[in-house]
Amino acid sequence: MPQVQQHKITPFLWFDSDAEPAAKLYTSIFENSRILDISRAGDKVMSVTFEIAGQRFMALNGGPHYKLTAAFSVLVSVETQTELDRVWDALLADGGKPTQCGWLDDRYGLTWQVIPTTLMKLMADPDPGRAGRTVQAMMKMVKLDIAELERAANG
C-alpha cells in the first residue's frame, strides 16, 4: 500500500457507499487531481484519499447515518466562461441539481460553488454602485454568466 503524506487539514466527506465513484468523478474534472489511496475491507471500499486541483480530501463510505448538506461546500474559482461551463456541466451530469448564485449539488450530494474570479473583483469594486449592481445580477442567476455580471456592473 502506498504511503500517503499527511496534511494538516484534509476535508473529510461522508458518503453512504459512493466514495470511490465520487472521487473518480471529481479527479476527472480538474487538472492536478488524482486518487492517492483506496482502503478496503475485503472487497468493500472503506475510504478514498484523493486530491482535487492539489487539495487533499478523504471520502468515507460510512453508511446512511449522515448526509452531505450545503452547510459544507467546495468553492471552485474559474477564470473564463468556458471553464465555468465545463466544470458546471460536469458536476451536474447524471443527476446533479443547480441551486442559485453559482451553487449546485452534484449527483452524490456534495455542494459546489462554481465562481468566476471576475465576480469577486466586481463585488470588491470601490464604487458601491458597481458592486451593488453586480450582487443584484448574481442573485437572479443560477449558473453565473460573466458577461452579464460585467454588464450589470457597468450599468
- Verify that 56 and 107 share a domain, yes or no: no
Whether the CB-CB separation of 91 and 29 falls below 8 Å is answered with yes
What's the rounded mean pLDDT across residues 111-120? 98
- Verify that 77 and 119 share a domain, yes or no: yes
- Verify that 60 and 120 share a domain, yes or no: no
Distance (Å, whole) CA 92 – CA 58: 21
For residue 126, is pLDDT > 60?
yes
Give me the pLDDT at residue 5, please.
57
pLDDT digits (tens, 9 = 90+) for 49-99: 999 999 999 999 999 999 999 999 999 999 999 999 999 999 999 999 999
For residue 7, is pLDDT > 60?
yes
Collapsing DSSP states into helix, strand and coil, what is residue 56? strand
Percent with pLDDT over 70 in the chain: 95
For residue 104, is pLDDT > 60?
yes
Whether the CB-CB separation of 99 and 142 falls below 8 Å is answered with yes
- Verify that 125 and 154 share a domain, yes or no: yes
Tell which residue, 117, 115, 96, has the closest CA to residue 106: 96
Looking at the DSSP bridge assignments, the partners of residue 56 are 51
- pTM for the full predicted model: 0.92
- Verify that 61 and 104 share a domain, yes or no: no
Q: How many domains does the chain have?
A: 2
How many Cβ atoms from other residues are within 10 Å of residue 19's Cβ? Answer: 25
